[in-house]
Chains A and B, each alone.
Chain A
């Protein structure tokens, strides 16, 4: 059954089956937008957590670290409650839109980016901080210096976040609703096709999912080798 599935799946891929391409491109852009927004907010938070002392800081660090292990179905459920027409943000009419999935994936990615950025900056050689301070650099310039120093580690964080977002199912299903041509992503389509017994399309979608996330993982592996080697 799996072998027939794979053969049919390859055919679907070779013919660039419209529904497969549609779901794949949606998955891609949704996770990219989610990660980019989470990057802007997350890096700022990571910098603040690493370089500023303020009340509640250690609690925040803990919260973000715990946030990395919040299950996607829970994020989905909370976003559902928030975006439902009876929810706090119900008037925005965002439930069952790509934006809803982006919002959920933002919360999935944010703790990853914030925590890993914080870790990367906190681990920097203290010389970097000293140099920046003695050179009399402004806040922004110093931030840029730190980020440049930690850029590989931060890139790793972004790739990790992307890979989580790209492959998650819970949020996309609960707040996206798996609507044809609107919110169907690779993961929701795979779940649906399997439920329908359409294994070939399921396998085709999974193959795309797998190859993209393997590419990202490969990139992570190559990058982390680079980050590890000069130090050792």
Chain B
């Protein structure tokens, strides 16, 4: 088992700057073999945790994006109908049972993310993204999978896990998750990073972002988040903006207020927010950046 500092370091190596609590959560995940449920506003970097985790373990990331109406055939497995039909046509005259045995074998089985995750030789990271978008029925089904790590396919029988994947679930809180699922998981609330951490994130992710510029950008974003906005910019937006500024060649935000204001479109994503952050507001925020 790795200690939490080692984990934080490994994550940093993978480009994710974690706080101490998240590192603890990940070490617990391995110790207790429980899934980790990440909640938080959109754009705070929940999905990135799973990606960084996969690169820390040097393993595959299997991602299941949830949506309303997601069902077993898209999440777990599906039969390869075309091949089955071909096979039936090609073996006319053979007894029905023989055909059935043939076409319902693993050869004709299409793996979907959940099945794939338990059949790898090396435990992968299974990211179940935005679980709140799937409906209750799927959640209940997932619960069964997460506790037993086996899948029963009526035509084939039960398939047990070869390895237990590292499971990360994320939720934006658009729907209340069931208590059963919550209880099953470790819980971590991902908040917007503080200024220092955000600056470090910018430096880690954007090539050519100097320490002083990163800090300025982080302070500026922090100021914008405190404005009354419809859509508060997340870390992903910060990174976009930082990349834009570095790409344009900005060295110091205070020297180029025009450019700063014009590139705010990377952060502000609704018309209302855009019109709320006027040139004057930008100037005021820039004044605090120093």
Tell me if chain B binds chain A. Answer: no
